[in-house]
Amino acid sequence: MSIEVVRLHPERSDLGYAFGGREPLLTVKPGTVVELTTEDCFGGAVRGVDDLPSRVCEFPYLNPVTGPIAVEGAEPGDTVAVHFVDIRPTRDWAVSTTFPHFGALTTTHTTAMLHDALPERVWVYDVDVDRGVCRFHARQGDFEVELPLDPMHGTVGVAPAAGEVIMSITPGAHGGNMDTPEMRAGTTAYFGVNVPGALISIGDGHCRQGEGEVCGTAVEAAMSTVIVVDLIKGASTAWPRLEDDEFLMSTGSARPLEDAFRISQHDLVGWTADLLGLDALDAYQLVSQAGLAPAGNVVDTNYTMLAKLPKAILSGAVVFDGVHSRLRAAGARYQSERG
Amino acid sequence: MSIEVVRLHPERSDLGYAFGGREPLLTVKPGTVVELTTEDCFGGAVRGVDDLPSRVCEFPYLNPVTGPIAVEGAEPGDTVAVHFVDIRPTRDWAVSTTFPHFGALTTTHTTAMLHDALPERVWVYDVDVDRGVCRFHARQGDFEVELPLDPMHGTVGVAPAAGEVIMSITPGAHGGNMDTPEMRAGTTAYFGVNVPGALISIGDGHCRQGEGEVCGTAVEAAMSTVIVVDLIKGASTAWPRLEDDEFLMSTGSARPLEDAFRISQHDLVGWTADLLGLDALDAYQLVSQAGLAPAGNVVDTNYTMLAKLPKAILSGAVVFDGVHSRLRAAGARYQSERG
Amino acid sequence: MSIEVVRLHPERSDLGYAFGGREPLLTVKPGTVVELTTEDCFGGAVRGVDDLPSRVCEFPYLNPVTGPIAVEGAEPGDTVAVHFVDIRPTRDWAVSTTFPHFGALTTTHTTAMLHDALPERVWVYDVDVDRGVCRFHARQGDFEVELPLDPMHGTVGVAPAAGEVIMSITPGAHGGNMDTPEMRAGTTAYFGVNVPGALISIGDGHCRQGEGEVCGTAVEAAMSTVIVVDLIKGASTAWPRLEDDEFLMSTGSARPLEDAFRISQHDLVGWTADLLGLDALDAYQLVSQAGLAPAGNVVDTNYTMLAKLPKAILSGAVVFDGVHSRLRAAGARYQSERG
Amino acid sequence: MSIEVVRLHPERSDLGYAFGGREPLLTVKPGTVVELTTEDCFGGAVRGVDDLPSRVCEFPYLNPVTGPIAVEGAEPGDTVAVHFVDIRPTRDWAVSTTFPHFGALTTTHTTAMLHDALPERVWVYDVDVDRGVCRFHARQGDFEVELPLDPMHGTVGVAPAAGEVIMSITPGAHGGNMDTPEMRAGTTAYFGVNVPGALISIGDGHCRQGEGEVCGTAVEAAMSTVIVVDLIKGASTAWPRLEDDEFLMSTGSARPLEDAFRISQHDLVGWTADLLGLDALDAYQLVSQAGLAPAGNVVDTNYTMLAKLPKAILSGAVVFDGVHSRLRAAGARYQSERG
């Protein structure tokens, strides 16, 4: 049986800037492969060091997302799975910037201080997909260095609960702008469904990012991305979960950062208890000794932490009947068919 | 030239419970190897599942440290380096526990709530140093799993500034109970000197711990540890820094967790700018794309975050004239001499 | 010239549960008096101690608001003023409750812990408008005490920026569920306009509340309320501001609570500098010595702090050309006309 | 029976800079009146607008305290009461300043950012004790305004538990630098005793301060202060509590600010339950509707929140057998005897 493949290449006028409040651009059956393209977080408007975002971008038309994609049969109380088969920068350059009142080491509108904003500055990276690197050029002096490409999407999620419409820059229980480097090819993301169709949107591709995304932006790039979408009926998922070949990952997005940490760890403890049939305190103990806890972002309107557990210690327990392996295999099949 | 080696095996009555306020147990020259032993964070009093810490331990006699060790010639404004050559559990068991009002997923005396405390529970791990594993046994049911040993010290630091005496459970600018798994053999830790002799103390050995140490304790063990101590004159270090063969690491210990993150990232940005001769914004950009940001602890009286940068991108720049490599070599020489 | 008076008594099916995303129920000219009614935060469903909210209410149909009310001529970049003339409980009882995972001294979905939820409990208060008191009855034992009525609205705001639709339980830059006792009769609230008409909604009447609203709910009551609405063209307002006869008040709603504090103080410093023609640091100094800083709520999805400055030190400077005094006078005229 | 009165006028060399780690300067019986003097937080070194604290003060010789005063018979597990009879500025001027990296609206060493420090600036106030006012002069322009005197002590506490020595700038469970305007004449402060004698120290007089002390310093003044000290045997007090004629007040000092709020509210709920014989949830409910929650400081190494309950609703219940009234009466007697 061949895999169904559909394409979603939105026009600029079709881009979204929020989760919720929008009709689907596309409806797909569970199991479908979607080839899609995304613009960068500046809508492609920052193309050189003189294109200051505060001048060339217009609030709130920032962080455009491609979607929503409706999944047939998805109802509140279900979970949708989004497996990333491929994420590939479409240009040979990418950009990063400081932006007034945005970032972890600057006064912001929330951490409000009497300082003037830090200077706004743009960095243009050379991107070489074949060699798998992007090149940083210092703006002062001539320091340069190549960094490995590790393409990912900062923004992936579904329509929120309670009819809310949430700017694409905000991460939360619906996913959104979690800005974690773990959202790379090979990862399956699980989201609880809040509205019929789930309404998945994806954007904010990064050639790579550090954990925490401390200056506020990553190596921002337009992407050509392939996903496989699936549906798990009757399984609710309170906060986005990720899975790759090595790790289970829970996310939490909140402020202060310790609450993001608490949400993610609480979720991972419950997940571990469920998978292994453990008492909550036993799972708490096991996660405490075996888990990892990297920052996603510490700059957005909510901060994101991840809680990771190596699958090696799960004694073979599998999530949702092995959906990650199945989607990974489907992705491989798609890739071998495309050549 | 042979390396000077000294031993420090404190009696129970010689253990300390704070940083500051104590005369040195030992004074060493820069470059000395110190073989020392540490008790576990319960002072060895928790030896079975019925030894509830709240019963067998007495506040404030928790988290004992070995030391202080004075470094000859160390003065305020200098930096001491502590390189970990070896950290080895001394018993074939280790323990972890929940403790009333301690941990990230429970009401505490600070995050004060109206809930009763979570149940207090002890887990005893089998430790097999030769095979490099410790074994977790669930308290409810019969789940068991082996976890890799990754021995480290939760608590390492120097006497604080301003004449303060700070409980050994608190991390801060003086180091202390940072509870990061990065404090393992092969790592060099740098601390700014606040008092003559610096007064290094070490304790809280862990067979391993997850990032965040979410339940409040790791796989706690008495350790036999070998360090090499060195002194960098005229170099101040505001917050503890770590270095291993692969990474530079800045630490921040504070509340809320985003302030721990900010301190660590701010320090790493400054460190990177200094090493590479970069403008602050260029360093901010580079760290944003290349850095890692794991949690240390999110349970102690201050929380700890790490900011890590791969040394591969430093174009050969070295810290303090290469002290890490020198101490690593000295450690290797010591080990080959000991057989 | 007589004052225009209109009424807004929405049917249950006309109640809103969010700011944004809704057509106006009513459009009024600046200067209009609006007589309106609001349901309590439980939609009137909690009427006795056995009506546990988790049973009789259905998420997300909580915290209903009356509105939106469009103001003719209001455009983004303007400010609307809402002056409270009268707020009067419509029943001789009111209720308060604990609610699972809601409140400052309990585990929540954000400050996620392993505790079971605190017990859910309902308190019914007797309300005596004529005597100006409400009576608390302990649920265990027979302690009773009368507390003064101090009627106010927890939830007042406008449609948010960027097309967002935000649950009525959340406070933010658009106002919303700030839950401050200062929103009482005699107060004028200023909101920046984000969409044509501003789209004011009001709900969540409280017979009284403590600062911080620590258990999560106040003495909740349906209200009969009279407001006067006005429009200040060309004046932007970043965060809601309040004014009464004695104080200027800035608000900040965010997490952690110190960011709510920072926003409110930063705003008050700027406001003071503008009104008195002071340098920012002089205004910072003056606010530091003369200001008050009470909590609004520390339980909602964002926390709210207020920054208050006594108008006595303003040397006669007035806000928006004296709009508060004008609206207060209009309210008095309305009241004398109604008898 | 006449009241015992003793004096404590420390030399500059006798001033302390920490809580803990020091022998008492004075030992008094319970019930003793102590007339004491305190220097301002700058040690009197800032006397004009050109005396920038970073130049004329030397870290850590900031925020000097007078004491410690030992109370005869005080043992761990007891509570000491400090009633303020009179607090009077000793000079006809006072000062306030910004200080680099200190304050709520600036980058600090903890909320670390890449901004340069805000400008350091000194304001000198005229103090007129007879008229009960201090006068603010803007540094830019000629704005001036009189503010009412409301003299208080920012720093009051006892030696901490666990042998810690804590800089006088830090508030905590031992009291210390809480910086609340409630610490004025007429208030009784209760502290749990951690070491024999309790070891009370007092400093940091303010002619007045705003809630939150947002710029980091108040209207700082040397004071002549009269206290009455008392001892309550066998009563422990976890966090400092205050009482005046109108209110019970619990304090919490921690970060983030919501934890300071939680501590103070948790303590007040427990206190209310104890005094009125209420179930914890009933007390939670009552405090939620009747309590006040002003900020103390949001600038020190820990932030301080207060939780206040009007004594009018206590149905006559009294604290510690009426010690506040007795000390107030003793103070009045002392004042009438002194004329």
What is the distance in angstroms between the Cα of C261 and the nearest Cα belonging to chain B?
Answer: 15
Is B210–A303 a contact, with Cβ atoms under 8 angstroms apart?
no
Low-confidence ranges of chain C (pLDDT < 70): 1, 339
Is D113–A115 a contact, with Cβ atoms under 8 angstroms apart?
yes
Chains that touch A (3 or more CB pairs under 8 A): B, C, D
Among chain B residues, CA nearest to D259: B111
Among chain A residues, CA nearest to B284: A215
Section D146-165 average pLDDT: 98
Among chain D residues, CA nearest to A119: D115
Assess contact for A14 and A25: CB atoms under 8 A.
Answer: yes
Enumerate the β-bridge partners of residue B184: B152
pLDDT in tens, chain B (339 residues): 578 999 999 999 999 999 999 999 999 999 999 999 999 999 999 999 999 999 999 988 999 999 999 999 999 999 999 999 999 999 999 999 999 999 999 999 999 999 999 999 999 999 999 999 999 999 999 999 999 999 999 999 999 999 999 999 999 999 999 999 999 999 999 999 999 999 999 999 999 999 999 999 999 999 999 999 999 999 999 999 999 999 999 999 999 999 999 999 999 999 999 999 999 999 999 999 999 999 999 999 999 999 999 999 999 999 999 999 999 999 999 999 986
Chains that touch B (3 or more CB pairs under 8 A): A, C, D
What is the distance in angstroms between the Cα of D323 and the nearest Cα belonging to chain B?
Answer: 27
Amino acid B1: pLDDT: 56
Residues 6 or more apart whose CB falls under 8 angstroms from that of C204 comprise C38, C40, C41, C63, C65, C153, C154, C155, C168, C177, C179, C220
Most C CBs within 10 Å, among B99, B107, B121, to test the C interface: B107
Residues of D with CB below 8 A from B256's CB?
255-256
Of D164, D167, D266, the CB nearest to B112: D266
Interface of D with A in 201-260 (CB under 8 A): 256, 258
Section D235-249 average pLDDT: 98
What sign has the CA pseudo-torsion B326, B327, B328, B331? positive
Please compute, for residue C280, the number of CA atoms within 13 A of its CA located in the half-sphere on the CB side.
13
Token pair for residue C251?
């608000």
Residues of C with CB below 8 A from B105's CB?
112-114
What φ, ψ does residue A79 adopt, rounded to 5°? Answer: -130, 135
pLDDT over 90 for what percent of chain D?
A: 97
Measured CA to CA in angstroms, residue B326 lies from A244, B228, B315 at distances of 39, 10, 19
Please compute, for residue C276, the number of CA atoms within 13 A of its CA located in the half-sphere on the CB side.
29
What is the distance in angstroms between the Cα of D75 and the nearest Cα belonging to chain C?
Answer: 31
Of B110, B166, B254, the CB nearest to D164: B166
Token pair for residue C80?
């609307």
Helix/strand/coil (H/E/C) assignment for every residue in B43-66: CCCCCCCCCCHHHHCCCCCCCCEE
Is the CATH number of domain C5-338 2.160.20.10?
Answer: no
Token pair for residue C30?
């600046």
Of residues D191, A212, A87, the one with CA closest to residue B294 = A212
Section D19-43 average pLDDT: 98
Q: For helices B280-290 and B257-276, give the axis angle rounded to 10 degrees.
A: 120
Say which DSSP state D59 is in. T
Among chain A residues, CA nearest to C267: A112
Is B259–D112 a contact, with Cβ atoms under 8 angstroms apart?
yes
Q: For helices A280-290 and A257-276, give the axis angle rounded to 10 degrees.
A: 120
Residues 6 or more apart whose CB falls under 8 angstroms from that of D12 comprise D39, D43
Amino acid B338: pLDDT: 86
Residues 6 or more apart whose CB falls under 8 angstroms from that of D92 comprise D126, D127, D128, D129
Class for domain D5-236+318-338, per CATH?
mainly beta
Helix (H) or strand (E) holding B250: strand B247-254
Chains that touch D (3 or more CB pairs under 8 A): A, B, C
Is A114–D105 a contact, with Cβ atoms under 8 angstroms apart?
yes
Token pair for residue D82?
């400090």
Torsion, Cα C71 C75 C78 C80, to 10 degrees, reads 20
Amino acid D2: pLDDT: 74
How far is residue D202's CA from residue D84's CA, in Å, rounded to a whole number?
11
Neighbouring CB atoms inside 10 A of A122's CB total 22
Among chain B residues, CA nearest to A123: B285
What is the distance in angstroms between the Cα of D169 and the nearest Cα belonging to chain B?
Answer: 11
Of D17, D59, D256, the CB nearest to B256: D256
Residues 6 or more apart whose CB falls under 8 angstroms from that of B11 comprise none
Please compute, for residue B148, the number of CA atoms within 13 A of its CA located in the half-sphere on the CB side.
7
What sign has the CA pseudo-torsion C192, C195, C197, C201? negative
Q: What is the mean pLDDT of chain D?
A: 97
What is the distance in angstroms between the Cα of D124 and the nearest Cα belonging to chain A?
Answer: 22
Of A112, A114, A256, the CB nearest to D118: A114
What is the distance in angstroms between the Cα of D250 and the nearest Cα belonging to chain B?
Answer: 13
Most D CBs within 10 Å, among B15, B109, B258, B300, to test the D interface: B109
Low-confidence ranges of chain A (pLDDT < 70): 1, 339
Is A293–B288 a contact, with Cβ atoms under 8 angstroms apart?
no
Interface of D with C in 284-313 (CB under 8 A): 284-295, 298, 303, 305, 307, 313
Residues of C with CB below 8 A from B216's CB?
none
Spell out the domain ranges in chain B: 5-338
Amino acid D3: pLDDT: 85
Is the pLDDT score of D280 beyond 80?
yes
Is C167–A162 a contact, with Cβ atoms under 8 angstroms apart?
yes
Of A163, A263, A267, the CB nearest to C165: A163
Contact status of B138 with chain A (Cβ, < 8 Å): yes
Of D21, D59, D269, the CB nearest to B21: D21
Residues of A with CB below 8 A from D256's CB?
256, 258
What φ, ψ does residue B236 adopt, rounded to 5°? Answer: -95, 150
Amino acid A1: pLDDT: 56
Of B112, B113, B258, the CB nearest to C107: B113
Of residues A160, A152, A93, A175, the one with CA closest to residue A128 = A93
Residues 6 or more apart whose CB falls under 8 angstroms from that of B185 comprise B84, B85, B86, B87, B151
DSSP C155-204: EEE-PPSTT-BEETT-EETTEES---TT-BTT-EEEEE--STT--EEEEE
Assess contact for B298 and A293: CB atoms under 8 A.
Answer: yes
> What is the identity of the amino acid at B77?
G
Contact status of D106 with chain A (Cβ, < 8 Å): yes
Contact status of C76 with chain A (Cβ, < 8 Å): no
Section D8-29 average pLDDT: 97
ipTM for the complex shown = 0.98
Measured CA to CA in angstroms, residue A167 lies from A58, A81, A170, B259, C166 at distances of 14, 22, 6, 25, 10
Most D CBs within 10 Å, among B62, B63, B110, to test the D interface: B110
Residues of D with CB below 8 A from B18's CB?
162-164
Amino acid A11: pLDDT: 96
Is A292–B293 a contact, with Cβ atoms under 8 angstroms apart?
no
Assess contact for B104 and A262: CB atoms under 8 A.
Answer: yes
Among chain D residues, CA nearest to B251: D110
Q: For helices D280-290 and D257-276, give the axis angle rounded to 10 degrees.
A: 120
Task: State the pairing for strand pair C26-28/C65-71.
Answer: parallel
Contact status of A143 with chain C (Cβ, < 8 Å): no
Question: How many A×C Cβ pairs under 8 Å?
Answer: 89
Residues of D with CB below 8 A from C315's CB?
143, 145
How far is residue B85's CA from residue A131's CA, in Å, rounded to a whole number?
38
Contact status of D320 with chain C (Cβ, < 8 Å): no
- The distance between the two most distant Cα atoms of chain D, rounded to a whole number of Å, is 63
